């Protein structure tokens, strides 16, 4: 990972905590209302069904409580900006644990009660997370799959997971699960900063109003007036581009992204998060 121009953005962690809990609540309410047919429906995530996706969201969020129950690591060895570009390393393990839990829920639930089993999983996850956040500070170090990091930073990554996968649920079910503004903001900003880390430079300006503006890509740095190379898009399109849910050409054709300047094609840098 290029070490140059690494900038740590500040987050309002009180708002992040509230947004994570609120977004988890939105998903919990939606999952409880899903029919068996909806739970068995496919998603845009390979072979995962809606049930698999719902389980993954609960596991990914609930891992926070499990991590704080373990002894605190002696030192931090993983920073927030390391997280997006290294998630692919854990993809196989995440897929396996998700499928195991989903299968266990299916086998232990009575016929037609998988939604109820999921509801119990979400209720337990929500209680454990709320209790954990009440007694642990943002500076508390926790062990994650990728290394020891600050709890506050890890919660930013949970906001990203929740927003990305709530959007996946909406796409798969046709529902309109709400997206928390503070969680969207954190997701957009972390993914934008990841782009700047992946392709350090100042020749292209990427704008995702109202949440983020970053410069990236090696070349002449622009300092005054209108930048010669500009990419601009809305928050959800940026999240979908950065996570591979939407292709660059598709977004351009639909006028959901604009790119002006000879260096403005950043398709080769995407996606950032698998």
Residue 24 to residue 165: CA distance in whole angstroms:
11
Mean pLDDT of 44-69: 92
Specify the pLDDT at position 1.
35
Using DSSP's 3-state secondary structure scheme, residue 21 falls into: helix
Q: Which fold has domain 186-269?
A: Nonspecific Lipid-transfer Protein; Chain A (3.30.1050)
Specify the pLDDT at position 140.
98
| Domain ranges for the chain | 13-179, 186-269
Using DSSP's 3-state secondary structure scheme, residue 215 falls into: strand
For residue 136, give the nearest of 61, 84, 67 by alpha carbon.
67
Residue 187 to residue 235: CA distance in whole angstroms:
9
Average pLDDT, the chain: 89
CA dihedral 42, 43, 46, 47 (to 10 degrees): -30
Q: What is the DSSP string of 151-193?
A: HHHHHHHHHHHHHHHHHHHHHHH-------HHHHHHHHHHHHH
pTM of the model: 0.90
Q: Which fold has domain 13-179?
A: 1.20.120
pLDDT digits (tens, 9 = 90+) for 131-152: 999 999 999 999 998 899 999 9
Residue 159 to residue 16: CA distance in whole angstroms:
7
- Using a 10 angstrom Cβ sphere, with 0-12 exposed, 13-18 middle and 19 or more buried, the burial of residue 268 is exposed
For residue 158, give the nearest of 75, 42, 229, 59 by alpha carbon.
59
Instruction: Please report which confidence band the pLDDT of residue 228 belongs to, taking 50, 70 and 90 as the band edges.
Output: confident
pLDDT digits (tens, 9 = 90+) for 83-128: 988 776 655 566 666 666 666 656 655 445 577 888 889 999 999 9
């Amino acid at each position: 990972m290029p070490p140059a121009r690494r900038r740590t953005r500040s987050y309002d962690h009180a708002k992040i905590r509230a947004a994570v809990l609120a977004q988890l609540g939105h998903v919990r309410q939606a999952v409880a209302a899903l029919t068996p047919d909806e739970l068995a429906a496919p998603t845009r995530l390979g072979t995962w069904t809606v049930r698999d996706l719902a389980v993954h969201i609960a596991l990914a969020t609930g891992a926070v409580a499990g991590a704080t129950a373990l002894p605190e690591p002696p030192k931090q060895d993983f920073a927030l900006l390391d997280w997006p570009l290294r998630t692919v390393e854990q993809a196989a393990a995440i897929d396996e644990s998700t499928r195991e839990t989903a299968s266990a829920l299916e086998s232990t639930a009575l016929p037609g009660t998988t939604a109820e089993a999921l509801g119990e999983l979400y209720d337990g996850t929500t209680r454990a997370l709320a209790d954990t956040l009440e007694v642990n500070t943002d500076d508390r170090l926790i062990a994650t799959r990728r290394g020891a990091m600050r709890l506050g930073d890890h919660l930013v990554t949970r906001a990203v997971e929740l927003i990305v996968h709530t959007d996946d649920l909406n796409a798969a079910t046709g529902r309109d699960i709400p997206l928390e503004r503070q969680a969207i903001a954190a997701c957009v900003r972390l993914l934008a900063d990841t782009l700047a880390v992946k392709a350090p430079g100042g020749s292209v300006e990427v704008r995702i109003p109202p949440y983020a503006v970053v410069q990236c890509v090696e070349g002449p740095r622009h300092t005054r007036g209108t930048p010669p190379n500009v990419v601009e898009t809305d928050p959800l399109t940026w999240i979908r581009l950065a996570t591979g849910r939407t292709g660059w050409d598709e977004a351009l054709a639909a006028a959901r992204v604009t790119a002006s300047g000879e260096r403005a094609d950043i398709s080769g840098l995407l996606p950032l998060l698998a």
